Chains A and B, each alone.
Chain A
Amino acid sequence: MKPRHKRIALILAGLAILAIAATLVLNAFQSNLVFFFSPTQVAAGEAPKGRSFRIGGMVREGSLQRQADGVTLRFVVTDTDKDMTVAYKGILPDLFREGKGVVAQGKLGDDGVFAATEVLAKHDENYMPPEAAKAVGDAHERAAANQASAQAAARTLKQ
């Protein structure tokens, strides 16, 4: 083979590897991107059915319940606007605490219960995971907007 052909062959081989890699990446991306939704978005039906996603918010105080087997749990995640029941089987992380931020990954069941495969609460003691904080923040934004429009309505009525 002439050097020129060799070079072309090598470049083609490199391109083939890249193409295979790109296919792998795209394939894996399609199925493994985990999107984040807040309980309100889930309540509005924005979350996909039958696909894994993450939810975040605060664990409602007093909502943690254990089944008889001791490791099947239910708790409520709230963004202060909408609540969502999460079912999880396993050991909770050390920093899981009622009233603190949490992020859970899993699928939404037909009964509206979020079946979590993973519960994350690994941020530091004083802060919520950013996703959880965002969910709560968005809920406040809506509450504030509602309040503002109610006030506007009240003013209009007074005049």
Chain B
Amino acid sequence: MTPKDLSKEHVALLRAAKAGSLNRRELMRRGIGLGLSATAIAGLISSYRPAPVAAQASPTAGTSPLAGQSIDMTILGIAGWPPSRLGVDMANELFKPYAKEQYGYDVNFSFEEAPFESLFQKAATSLQSGSAQYNIIISDSQWLGALAEPGWIVRLNDIIAENPELDIKFEEAAAIGYRIYPDGSDNIYGFPQEGDVIGLFVRQDLMSDQAERDAYKAANDGEDLPQNWDDWLEVDIDRYERIAKHFTRPDKNLYGTAMQWSKVYDYVSCYAYPFMFSNGGEAWDPATGQIEGIVNSEINIKGLERNKSFLQYAPPGATNYGIGEEVDVFTAGTVATCLQWSALGPQMANQKPGGAPDEVADPSKPVTPDKVLIVPPPGFKQEDGSLKRVYTLGGQPWVLNAFNDEAHQQVAIDFMKFWYLPETQLEFSKRGGDTAVIEVLDSPGYDDLQIHFRAYKYMMRENRSKDFWHDPNYAEMLAVQQEAWNGYMTDVVSDAKLALDYTACKQQEILYDAGRSDIAPSDICSDISL
């Protein structure tokens, strides 16, 4: 029964009662039935209608202090990064009417963008002048310290306390990586906008080709190529190397793997760290700021060497690979497997944005969604024989500009409340965004919504992904590291130990000089150079 049917029943009952065609008992029976139906339907509607929580905590239309006003908001996000764009598109498509109905104000969102490597520069130069040009910023997680320390972004603890609907249960990796600064404190500075992890993109059509399987088996003592999710879960880094080696055929322009080894931004760092983290290595001690002796540990030296060993199975020029180059080589069919950010699932699978799961975006490309499997990246065998995966956390938080006036800050908060409604997060997921809200991740059918969601969820959980520093000196520490690690990958730096010793010395010096650590660089650092 729909509300329309109920209304018709009500009219018929009134007419019958007026006409005297019903006795009192019948009138009472049908009246109670109608009343119960109406209550049930009202309950259903109210549970279906969006934002019951927000409606309780927020002023209703007309009672909001902003009611009747028109407010222009600007979001600064990452250029060419689909999840950033999604946030703005959804703000205009969905939040705009929601705000009008819920709060009674008109709002328009515009999008300013810059590539990953220059977004912080764009944000910082504006914020340094005390500008509210960008009301909401989609920051990279590592910039939290650099944005929070000068007081450019809002500490959110009080806002969350005043708005309990923003006290959301996020996946632990996201709750820490995208929100907390300094590490280990309870200061919240961000809300997860887009969760992201490293996934392994596989040309499953090649893996299941019988001729390939036979050839691989013959060359590897009967070991088969992985055929499904469960098989890939069992793949360790040694087996992955065998697979990469098997598919490396330069004469046919086919290679076994691609990762990011570029010097640009954090590319080589993000893909070399997993070779260290998964074997117990660390980047630093956030409590003391100690880096020397940690980042240049024996485990990390071996990890960096192992990461470099995969270059022999990658296409020529892979030392310049970043996000875009990986999408290009994978979709062009040049590589059989590729380690890449899971957020790019649809792009890597050549899937039409917003289309059906098997709808092809660019038919001229040899790779189509039906040929691609996205699985967790290889594990690293531990001494007890178990497999461990600790990969670098990607993704970005929303942060709020501390120079916003009251009206813009209120709209930003209202938008955050809207953003974390389960139905908004579900819609975000349907459009290809990676949510970090546990409730949504656990909702039935979530894994099948997008081609990469199963791998994303798997890698997001149980400490399989983690971030590195959130320190305000992030940019300097990263520049040193990128130069040394990319230098090692390109043979500019002779060995991994020198690359990591140099990294450790310079980063220790940066933290010590900035007063972020009491630990001074050791004597060997005085004459170290690449």
Q: Is this pair of chains taken from one and the same complex? A: no
Q: Which residues of A contact B (CB under 8 A)?
A: none
Q: Which residues of B contact A (CB under 8 A)?
A: none
